[in-house]
Structure 1
């Protein structure tokens, strides 16, 4: 394979991702010449059958739970775009599979200085999962009833918004807005501090839970260099050589 082609494959089209550690071509156990793709292994394979390294979750990058992504939910020319970042909570497919969207309760430690401690984060995930599971579960009694009534009424039952899933999701969106308002009242009292914000699940298609936080790279440092910490000395400029003395 040419060198430029291999370099192109190792980078994703997303500018913020950099080297794509989840690229299946990098860790496939089938050669490129076979043209079959990555084979499914009994271990170290993702839900899509892609071969991945066991320690990829620990590497710093877009797959890391604490990685601050660019904010795609605000205009790129706004001040909020430059001052905020997004922490993405990924789906947990082990709870309900693809029957209902559920999110992982793996706590990103970067949320602690942003104003969301670990107990509050777990309460948020527990609240969302408990509402989403019965709302999307096709074997839920209310969902089966709505499907039968919708069929009998020519789907007018769905058009009028009488289904249980719509009422549950509307209530969940109202809860998210209320949580954002309470955080704004609690944290915005301090000057120059942006409160965390839960992005609507409808904007992400229920695929991720996006949490907006202040950009940690431009946030003020909590403390200056301590007395016991060593500081790197600045290099001193070399003295200029003496001017030559002219002898008559």
Structure 2
């Protein structure tokens, strides 16, 4: 295959290696605005987006200018709970949480279009070959770079962390406070751990992740077969070298 250009559209798996994917920002905020009528403020200069639920009990804040790297904050007022995601958190997992927020507030409109997973964390892990500790407090991706950890009786009840060889460009984390609904955690995990690839421009994939033996990058355009089928076949190939297929 020819070398990939920076702006080539590609499919990437596993998702935790794919980078933020902010070209798909609309997937995280669009349904709240267009389907559920959440109030929105947008600062075009800074990229800041703030959304409030119609009854004012929940907000979503996207602030790409934050110096601490926490770009996403999802918070509920009473009872108070919060989810925070740093800048490289894959947008597919973030969107899985934001899209389910209306249902968590009791708004079942469009529930058929935004299904909530019925699988447990343990089942999601098993289906996607993540290792699980005996007590169910730690789930680890097959390549060992991503973990979901439970810390009961602490302020941060669930945390997800990812890093490749300690590389800054590959590090991201997501934290759920103690009263965060279990459905928010399972939605995030289901859309992170899935074997379905994420779509990115090649330039968006963190440099240290591109040549990992467990990473698979295939063209999203121009494949003889359906690009997703091509990716799935390549994923099943018995090789452990880095693959740009």
Higher RCO (C-alpha under 8 Å, 6+ residues apart)? 2
Q: Would the TM-score normalized by the shorter structure come out above 0.5?
A: no
Scaled by the length of structure 1, what TM-score is found?
Answer: 0.23
Higher radius of gyration, 1 or 2: 1
* TM-score (norm. length: structure 2): 0.24
Question: More helix by proportion, 1 or 2?
Answer: 1
